[in-house]
Structure 1
């Protein structure tokens, strides 16, 4: 009984030991499958100031309303142009294609983590010992790289970061596009206002010159007065072609930005309208907001993450790799016998590859990726500093332009009043005709400068929202390809000519 019990205990121990070895082997395999080399990415910290330096009551540090910021300019036509540009702009469509490319690259990288299986089939006519036989054969080949040190997983990680970067690049493209559309639209309206002012002023000055010449012919005015009056009118007229050229260029740019030929919007924008003006106050937020809202900063951060993951992929190439491969094949002299009355052979086993000597090639590849990571890190820091600079520049520009606009408005009012008084005084002989012309010249210059300042103020408003990361917050479908190929299946090839 005791011997029998001892044998039972020994068998139990053997069985337990077998299960233990199996569990240990499984654990080791799991640990090996979970190994990874290279640095794990961590988002770098940045020392940012606690507040913007160039703010005042018109730009409080409250949370800015960045979504669809252009709609707060109150111009429905601008809103329509932005929507049209988002839908049709070629740069946006190209950025969407890059997203599709990044998605496909991620699928490729992800597929490397799974086994591969290939099938083969063939038929052979062979002659042996005077007889001709037909041999049918078929089979399957399978392979799987175990990715012991995470080369494929790091590649997949890099591909995922690349996909994130492509999505941020689309958002960055949209931010730039909306800003460009708004800027060119505001400039076009400004040129229209300046053109209308120049035409009105030139017409008035031309009438003054005509009256002066009539008075000269009647002997009540001098030739100097006639020459000065006609010279002033001609000088104002000379501004009109330049303004028309600038207006056409702005409209043409809007046409291209909306994905159309340059003159497509000429008729639509022919009627002169007011210059869009921003509503105040204009919240500016705090510097840390740009890390969350600026797509170009987020793009640089994702590119840094991608570069970091590539270090691990390059480092893993310096370590051994293990692959499992297997094959099953069958052959028969009759197609119907395949898999039944046929010859079947199979093979299965692991293979180990160990880099022994490569003259430092693999180590140099790691150094390359580390240097590229450093470049991406510095590019990320530069993007943050550049964003801070953009915001500060836009803030000081907006603040100072508001003050300038207020002074220019008073200046234009004063010059208009001076022009009226000089006309009245000239009629009484209290001032010379040269004083009248000088007052008209100053009035035109002040009014033209006032219009330019109105354009500048709205342009700084646009720049500030671009700098803060304001842009499109709607859905951007990147699934539809631009070119849909037809008849891509198997077919007879056509001869290539010329």
Structure 2
């Protein structure tokens, strides 16, 4: 069968007018959220930084690289992001399929009384049925655009999940290394105080030291033992936290940490050739928010298209075989049509409400995108400020630690010679210990600032 010729001519004459009257006008798929012209925080090393893409390898610690990889393979957030990526890929495939015709195959077989031939007959039929909704107003194309943009956003969020896990593991690894260094300092301090207490006991027995002085030495030694035990407990907690993140066996990780001594962080870990555009462009969360704006814009176009007439075309081709009384008859049929036009007349405001909801989602996506850009700028600025501050304090902290250590050594020599009191010795010891711990903590603070910059800069991901 074929559609009526006069109906086709009427539809062809009216179609241009309908297209002009019903053209969709979605909001812009890109919005302006300009970053600042320049960072207000000073750049470390005057902006001369190492490559972001090889950041973890440039750390110079193969164990850290392995732990990050294991944590990413184990992370539930990465698995969730991967699942959403697969779902987005499936949604994109479905949206692309809607742009073309659908083809179904049909087959049947029966035996019974056939009215056409007036006898009992066996009938077998097979055919193909095609249906196609002609995308007059671009609604299906808009749905495909939205799916494509959300797929790009899902890919970006997968990168963001990996960046977050890497940053978390690196920060925990640095915290554990710092704890182990402070434990070593505490152990040496406990040994030193124990030796002081031993010498003080000998001096008391010889009558050269008052009992109160020896009591002070014993109390100082006991305090150091307790501090070292507390530090060992803290390091055990840090280690177990790292094990939980990476899934590595704790018994195997302990000797690996001992065999791989802590390495000082390299002076150059990042390269950001251009600020701030490159930093914002490579942040997965900002890119995903931008893609969501484009997807929401396409959703508005799709909602608008639902309010206009819909045109569908169908067709079929089939073959049948009828057998009765030893006689076989073959038949074949085909048809194009009907060409069906569906015009929405009254739906109680449902389609208008759907368009209004789509526009509201677009406004929300645009606001979230602008907020995400502002947050990205703020996070990079804060990381740069912390880096600059730690760099300013590093030399002073190192000089202070070396000076107090030398002062303690000199005071201990004077005490052994009987020229300084135990109170002076303990005061110098406490000051040297505090300065050494402060220097170690500052090194961890600097490492944490580098990790924060890595995360704020998008982890070196480039779209």
The TM-score normalised by the length of structure 2 is 0.86
1: distance between equivalents of 2:103 and 2:279?
Answer: 48
2: distance between equivalents of 1:30 and 1:101?
Answer: 39
Residue in 1 aligned with 2:41?
A: 54
Residue in 2 aligned with 1:440?
A: 429
Q: 2:341 aligns with which of 352, 360, 365?
A: 352
Residue in 1 aligned with 2:232?
A: 244
Q: 1:364 aligns with which of 337, 353, 359?
A: 353
1: distance between equivalents of 2:19 and 2:452?
Answer: 53
Distance 1:326 1:275, change over 3 A: same
Asked whether 1:387 is paired with 2:359, we answer: no
> Any conservation in 2 of the 1:276–1:458 contact (CA below 8 Å)?
no
2: distance between equivalents of 1:243 and 1:30?
Answer: 81
Residue in 1 aligned with 2:455?
A: 466
2: distance between equivalents of 1:422 and 1:222?
Answer: 19
Q: 1:211 aligns with which of 179, 199, 202?
A: 199
2: distance between equivalents of 1:405 and 1:65?
Answer: 23
Asked whether 1:400 is paired with 2:389, we answer: yes
The runs of 5 or more residues in structure 2 that have no matched partner are none
Identify the range of structure 1 (79-88 vs 235-244) with the bigger mean alpha-carbon deviation: 79-88
Residue in 1 aligned with 2:221?
A: 233
User: Which structure 2 residues correspond to residues 77-476 of structure 1 after superposition, within 5 A?
Assistant: 77-86=63-72, 89-127=75-113, 132-258=120-246, 260=248, 265-271=253-259, 273-280=261-268, 285-334=274-323, 341-342=330-331, 344=333, 346=335, 348-471=337-460
Distance 1:443 1:147, change over 3 A: same
Deviation at 1:415, TM superposition (A): 1.4
Distance 1:148 1:264, change over 3 A: farther
The runs of 5 or more residues in structure 1 that have no matched partner are 1-17, 475-498
2: distance between equivalents of 1:364 and 1:403?
Answer: 58
User: Which structure 2 residues correspond to residues 17-56 of structure 1 after superposition, within 5 A?
Assistant: 25=12, 37-39=24-26, 41-55=28-42
Residue in 2 aligned with 1:68?
A: 54
SS in 2 for 1:121: strand
Cα deviation, 1:155-199, whole Å, max 9, x if unaligned, reads: 100110011011111221222222222222222211111111111
1: distance between equivalents of 2:457 and 2:229?
Answer: 37
Deviation at 1:229, TM superposition (A): 2.1
Distance 1:247 1:116, change over 3 A: same
SS in 2 for 1:60: helix
